[in-house]
């Protein structure tokens, strides 16, 4: 185990560059507020100039990026606005998490997009794909937009209308390629690369007809012949093939990767050939802290070996000023009794069930003094996480395989334990929870995620339908099941969740080998039995969190009153549609 993760100190050491970075953040925030005031008065040129000054001081300041992009939109400068949103997506990829907002922005940046999506919503995939729309003016203008492309390269598309249009466009590009049409031009090559990357990110969850599958097989056969020494090979053939299956599945992929390719195709080869190979190598060297139990634990491990979860691409740019955990808890729950962790210059963190590691990595780069041990059952998930460790975090985080039921054997204790979305997949969730509580230091905090029995009622009903229809947890059956839901007359709330839009994520949602839901009274009883104090629920965004905090304050209710929350959820059963996500502390 990395000894650097075991270091401890009783003194609070100042973070290098902390005060200058804090001052820069304050100056940038003040300039951003001034710019917004000018923008509200219609003084757009002045606002743009001030926003640019703020970005020169704090390049990763999200409100400034958005403010400047909005000014450009208001001025009708769509190219400049698109470029600004590209920068925002690069430095702060979490801004893509609110995909409804992303799509609204895309529609403003690309006036033809709205009509395309409207057509996709009312026509069948086959009808949309009948005519090659690659050469149509609307498709060309969409393909040329750099923000649209970086969205495709950076996150799963989480809108059914946009998914349908992209599915149809992919089919049209396949037919055009096989027909020998020249799909040339920098914009089209860049778009084809972005779409190929999107399809790999979502694990080819887009529907494909039997005819398309046959055409893809023809294309793969052509590629096999074209890799003979001296044979010409069109980059577009490879990109279209990569829209239907990872290039690492081709039998001759080493010969393909050995050639020199333009940057757009090189990015796809990195994603689909080199990175999977690196993850296989990392998997073999992953530390194993405990044995893995049998039964449900072994079944869950097997699922995540086949389908690492969740899918994600980019980590946000590290903040200039590292956060203090105690200050963050007090900011989120200002009226709730809470004892500071008081961790000095070392915050010992356990991420119990880290999956593919995004939360663990973001925690390591966000909080002052954080040293993170991130464990999971799945070596495939851990290898994906380890591949994405930035060099700056190499001494701050360690990934290892471990079973939560046996984790007490590692002989360590932690200031913070996060176990989000893990316990409800265990054969004995409460036993696993107790094991983690034993690893908490006296003032230790725990962040827990559990599925709500009320909010998961639709998921439970559809799972019964999945079983009745005989769907198996294979990529083909997951695609068929999704398409049946998309084409059906009944639209379920969970079809708007992130987990519906990638194969591994959809398997986790609708095909999981084991899941147990909870109610708030059950959580309350467990906390009382185990001497834990409830601090409060945390929601998916600051806006949502503040909405509920203000709602409770206006009603005169305590934000930490679980009885009030139980009554509120009974009246609003979808309030925890993602899951219960809450903070607790030893009493």
Q: Does residue 252 carry a pLDDT above 90? A: no
Give the span between the Cα atoms of 550 and 303, in whole angstroms.
40
C-alpha 315/C-alpha 482 separation (Å) is 28
Q: What CATH number does the domain located at 296-453+516-586 have?
A: 3.40.50.150
Integer angstrom CA distances of residue 25 from 37, 81, 92, 317: 19, 23, 16, 15
**CA dihedral (288, 294, 298, 300) positive or negative:** negative
Answer with the residue of higher pLDDT: 225 or 1: 225
Residues 6+ apart with CB under 8 A from 311: 156, 201, 202, 203, 356, 502, 504, 505
130-175: per-residue pLDDT in tens? 544 444 556 778 889 999 999 999 999 999 999 999 998 899 899 9
In this predicted structure, the answer to whether residue 368 has a pLDDT above a threshold of 60 is yes
**Exposure string (b/e) for 53-85, b if CB count within 10 Å is 16 or more?**
bbbebbebbeebbbbbbbbbbeeebbebbbebb
Contacts of 49 (CB under 8 A, 6+ apart): none
Listed in sequence order, the residues at least 6 apart from 339 whose beta carbon sits closer than 8 Å to its beta carbon are 443, 585
8 A C-beta contact, residue 183 and residue 239: no
| pLDDT confidence bin for 187, thresholds 50/70/90 | confident
Give the model's confidence band at 12: pLDDT under 50 very low, under 70 low, under 90 confident, else very high. very low
Out of 3.40.30.10, 1.25.40.10, 3.20.20.150, 1.10.443.10, select the CATH number for domain 24-91.
1.25.40.10
Q: What is the pLDDT of residues 288-328, one digit of tens each?
A: 999 999 999 999 999 999 999 999 999 988 877 788 999 99
Question: pTM for this one?
Answer: 0.91
pLDDT tens, position by position, 62-77: 899 999 999 999 999 9
- What are the residue boundaries of the structural domains of the chain, listed by start? 24-91, 107-280, 296-453+516-586, 457-510
* Greatest mean pLDDT range, 17-26, 33-42, 120-129: 33-42
């Amino acid at each position: 185990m990395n000894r650097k993760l075991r270091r401890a100190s009783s003194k609070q050491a100042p973070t290098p560059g902390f005060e200058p970075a804090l001052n820069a953040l304050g100056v940038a925030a003040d300039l951003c507020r001034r710019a917004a005031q000018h923008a509200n008065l219609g003084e757009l040129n002045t606002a743009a100039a001030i926003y640019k000054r703020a970005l020169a001081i704090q390049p990763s300041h999200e409100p400034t990026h958005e403010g400047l992009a909005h000014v450009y939109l208001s001025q009708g400068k769509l190219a400049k606005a698109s470029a600004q949103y590209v920068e925002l997506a690069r430095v702060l990829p979490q801004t893509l998490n609110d995909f409804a907002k992303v799509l609204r922005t895309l529609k403003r940046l690309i006036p033809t997009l709205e009509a395309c999506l409207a057509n996709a919503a009312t026509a069948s995939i086959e009808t949309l794909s009948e005519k090659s729309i690659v050469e149509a003016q609307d498709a060309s203008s969409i393909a040329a937009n750099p923000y649209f492309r970086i969205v495709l390269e950076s996150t799963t598309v989480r809108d059914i209308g946009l998914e349908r249009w992209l599915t149809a466009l992919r089919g049209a590009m396949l037919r055009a390629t096989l027909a020998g049409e020249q799909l040339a031009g920098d914009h089209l090559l860049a778009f084809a690369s972005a779409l190929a990357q999107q399809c790999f990110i979502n694990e080819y969850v887009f529907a494909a007809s039997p005819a398309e599958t046959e055409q893809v097989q023809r294309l793969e056969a052509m590629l096999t012949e074209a890799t003979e020494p001296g044979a010409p090979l069109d980059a577009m053939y490879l990109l279209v093939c990569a829209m239907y299956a990872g290039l690492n599945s081709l039998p001759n992929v080493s010969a393909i990767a050995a050639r020199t390719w333009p940057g757009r195709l090189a990015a796809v080869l990195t994603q689909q050939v080199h990175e999977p190979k690196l993850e296989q190598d990392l998997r073999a060297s992953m530390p194993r802290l405990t044995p893995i139990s049998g039964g449900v634990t072994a079944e869950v491990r097997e699922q995540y070996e086949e389908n690492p979860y969740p899918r994600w691409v980019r980590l946000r740019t590290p903040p200039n000023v590292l956060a203090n955990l105690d200050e963050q808890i007090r900011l989120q729950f200002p009226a709730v009794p809470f004892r500071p962790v008081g961790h000095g210059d070392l915050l010992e963190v356990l991420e119990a069930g880290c999956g593919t590691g995004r939360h663990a990595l973001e925690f390591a780069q966000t909080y002052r003094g954080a040293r993170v041990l991130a464990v999971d059952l799945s070596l495939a998930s851990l290898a994906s996480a380890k591949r994405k460790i930035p060099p700056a975090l190499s001494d701050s985080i360690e990934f290892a395989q471990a079973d939560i039921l046996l984790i007490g054997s590692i002989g360590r204790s932690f200031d913070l334990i996060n176990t989000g979305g893990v316990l409800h997949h265990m054969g004995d969730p409460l036993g696993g929870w107790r094991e983690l509580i034993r690893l908490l230091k006296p003032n230790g905090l725990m962040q827990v995620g559990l599925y709500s029995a009320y909010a998961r009622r639709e998921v439970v009903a559809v799972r019964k339908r999945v079983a009745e229809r005989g769907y198996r947890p294979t990529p083909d059956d997951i695609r068929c099941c999704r398409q049946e839901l998309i084409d059906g007359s009944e639209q379920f709330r969970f079809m708007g969740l992130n987990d519906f839009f990638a194969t591994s994520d959809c398997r986790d949602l609708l095909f999981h080998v084991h899941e147990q839901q909870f109610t708030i009274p059950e959580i309350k009883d467990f906390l009382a039995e185990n001497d834990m104090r409830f601090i409060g629920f945390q929601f998916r965004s600051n806006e949502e969190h503040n909405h509920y905090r203000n709602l409770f304050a206006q009603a005169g209710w305590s934000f930490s009153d679980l009885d009030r929350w139980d009554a509120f959820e009974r009246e609003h059963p979808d309030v925890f549609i993602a899951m219960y996500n809450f903070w607790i502390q030893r009493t």
